[in-house]
Amino acid sequence: MAALENIRKRGKLLAIVIGFALAAFILGDFINTGGGGSLPELADINGNKVDIADFQNRMNSHSEFSKFAVQMTSLNSEQTKAIQNEVWDMIVRENLLNESYDNNGINVSEKEVSALVLGEGGNYSQLIRQIPIFKNQKREFDPQTVATFFDSYMDNNPEAKRFGLYLESLIRENRKYEKYTSLISKGLNISSAEANMLYKERVHVIDFEYVVKKFDKLSDSTINVSPEEIKKYYEKHKQEYKQKHTRDIAYVTFDIIPSPEDIKVIRDEINSLKKEFSEIEIDSAFSNIETYVKANSVTPFKTLHYKKGDLRNPEIDTLIYNSELGFTYGPYKENGYFKLIRLIEKIQLPDSVEARHILIQPNGQDIADMKRAKEIADSIKTLIDNGADFGELAKLHSVDKESGKKGGKLDKFTEGRMVKPFSDFCFYGNVGNIKAVESQYGIHITEILWQSEKIEKISVAIIDKQIIPGKNTVSKAYYTSGKFASENNTLKKFDAAIESNTAFAKRLVTELTPTTEIISGLEESRKIITWAFNEEREIGDVSDKAFQTGDRFVVPVLTEIKKEGIASLDNKKEEIIAEIRKIKKGEILAKEMKASSGNFDAIASAVGGEKGEAKNISFASSFIPKAGNAPIVIATALNSEKNKTSEPIIGKNAVYKIKVTSITGIDKIDNKMVENDKKSAEQRLKVRVNREAYEALKEDAEIEDNRHRFF
């Protein structure tokens, strides 16, 4: 609170950010972090319980914050889910990092917060720069807009004050994390010896010849693997088979496709509007047409002008462009809609224009409202009319600072790119015209500087109706999918039904987690994931009902449950067999290659392999031409003597023999280059710390996430 008051005394307050930033915590007066231990637990983070009531309270607070930040009255399901994930990450971060902050004496003073909020020396917090309502028309951060907002609302608007407090908390936590990662980074340095090694590795380049024989030259059927070998390998490599809590499902879909009857109904519906649509009187503002389209069309009326070729459908474009005013055509089918189109205007207009403007915008202070903005704009226009320099006045008075630097000049633009009143003046007026134009952004004192050659353009009115399934079609698909679910309520029956009917396609989804949001190809699939993770669900369970996801019904079956921990031998058996076969193939081929002799052509012929050459290989290399990914071969080659044939090298998928033919090293170490390599390596370390420090804490933590039970 103290930092906020300090900011207000100094005349500015910047606020509001959606939780996109790394350390977006919700703290302070804006939220209540206590609560309801008797209510169901949402999670357990290193022994700290999180109950659903606390989580929901924070969700509500963060939702209100986010809506205000982007000036929205409501959030859709996708946005709500994103906020849910943000709040979850905030809670996890608090539990994992606060103790580290305390142990290491990391804190942030009120003065630091004030400086970041005020942007002292232009150093605004990155959180502030992300806020949509504090950006100008070009979506660039505008400090004046921020200052205007808070100078106008801070004292009289409790909601604005809550957002200010919220922002203070966000910035404080973000700064704590910056200090935390900086502390770690300072403990990670590249020594001179390491820097020299990095330099040598970078400039050490070789060429080598090789003979390769790939494992797939041996058939799997020739390699026997015993149960004892499988078990021994599993026990030795058990720690490599850690797995998360995941589930696999299979599903079949029943598409909801408009029937011929549905299509006819929609065609008849739009056709019934054609006569009335074609007879509407066209007034200069197109208000009659706009009203009719609004009442009868899915897509709203657009007052745009099109040159020949602009309409997406080439046939319709040619037909309409060459028709008389008032011509109406349709219904025609396009992109899943039936449409009627009417030609309502032909006019000569430029295709692009260039203009400059001085934007006068109400700020709640010296320019209290739009009336006062208009008075100031009229005064400035009078000065221009009397010979004052437009460009200089733009630099002095325009709120649009970016164009103001250029004397108010804007880049060339086409119709529809700017707000309508401004755009209309620029396209309908003539070069040299100057006018004060009012828009939702304020008053634009506008001069038309240039127009492209005027060409014939047209305006059209379009009524469209989406071709969607009718109620009977949806009901039929629901009945069919429900019948399938009830009749095939085991995995065996499910698979048999699909095998016996070519109309069905079984789709598999693996490695679903409790927090998976979307199944690829299925809309609104979260409800299917929730079904799969029901604690009572068992392998082989088929949903007793079909789920509607967009334009289809889905019947899922649970095919696998993997608990967090070490994967079982049965789950990894096929993978282990494949690995043991590779080992045995490597041993067989290495023995075969060791017995061969002569030059590399002779060796390749004797073992049935391939000869190749690798050039300009360094420690940064990982691939060998024609031989693929072979880091162990490259490492061996870089440490080999020139012109000495190696012993067989067993790689990931093949066996090799190599001979280094050329070595390009260094006669003298370039100390400047060594220092550059040192700095680059240290910078990479810092980047990794910023990215990985928290992730490492999270990986090491014991986190029980039960959100799937509630959402």
Per-residue pLDDT of 397-432, as tens digits, reads 998 888 988 999 999 999 988 988 999 999 999 999
Q: Which residues of 638-648 are buried (b: 16+ CB within 10 A; e: fewer)?
A: bebeeeebbeb
- The angle, 0 to 180 degrees and rounded to 10, between the axes of the packed helices 491-499 and 471-487 is 120
Map out the domains of the chain with their CATH numbers. 2-186 (no CATH), 205-241+570-664 (3.10.50), 246-257+470-563 (3.10.50), 260-350+461-466 (no CATH), 352-451 (3.10.50.40)
Residue 681: band (very low, low, confident or very high) from pLDDT cuts 50, 70, 90: confident
Please report, for the chain, how many H helices and E strands are present, in that order.
24, 22
The answer on pLDDT for 591 being more than 70 is: yes
Reading the block at residue 438, the tokens are 């009012």
Query: Cα-Cα-Cα-Cα dihedral of 131, 132, 137, 143, to 10°?
Result: -20
CA distance 604 to 327: 78
Q: Cα 118 to chain center, whole Å?
A: 30
Reading the block at residue 503, the tokens are 């109309």
pLDDT at 196: 77
pLDDT at 22: 33
* Most distant CA atoms of the chain, gap in Å: 100
pLDDT at 154: 59
SS3 (DSSP) at 24: coil
Cβ-based neighbours of 202, under 8 Å, separated by 6 or more: 618, 619, 620, 677
Q: How many CB atoms lie within 10 A of CB 288?
A: 13
Single out the residue of 446, 448, 447, 442 nearest to residue 374, CA to CA.
Answer: 442
CA distance 79 to 538: 32
How far the first Cα of the chain sits from its last, in Å, is 34
Single out the residue of 653, 656, 658, 597 nearest to residue 218, CA to CA.
Answer: 653
Could you report the per-residue pLDDT of 448-495, keeping only the tens digit for each?
A: 999 999 999 999 999 999 999 999 999 999 999 999 999 999 999 999
pLDDT at 6: 39
Task: Identify the residue whose tokens are 């997406």.
Answer: 312
Reading the block at residue 343, the tokens are 């030609």
Could you report the per-residue pLDDT of 156-215, keeping only the tens digit for each?
A: 677 777 877 888 888 888 899 888 888 887 777 777 777 777 777 777 889 999 999 999
Q: Which helix (H) or strand (E) holds 128?
A: helix 126-129
pLDDT at 603: 92
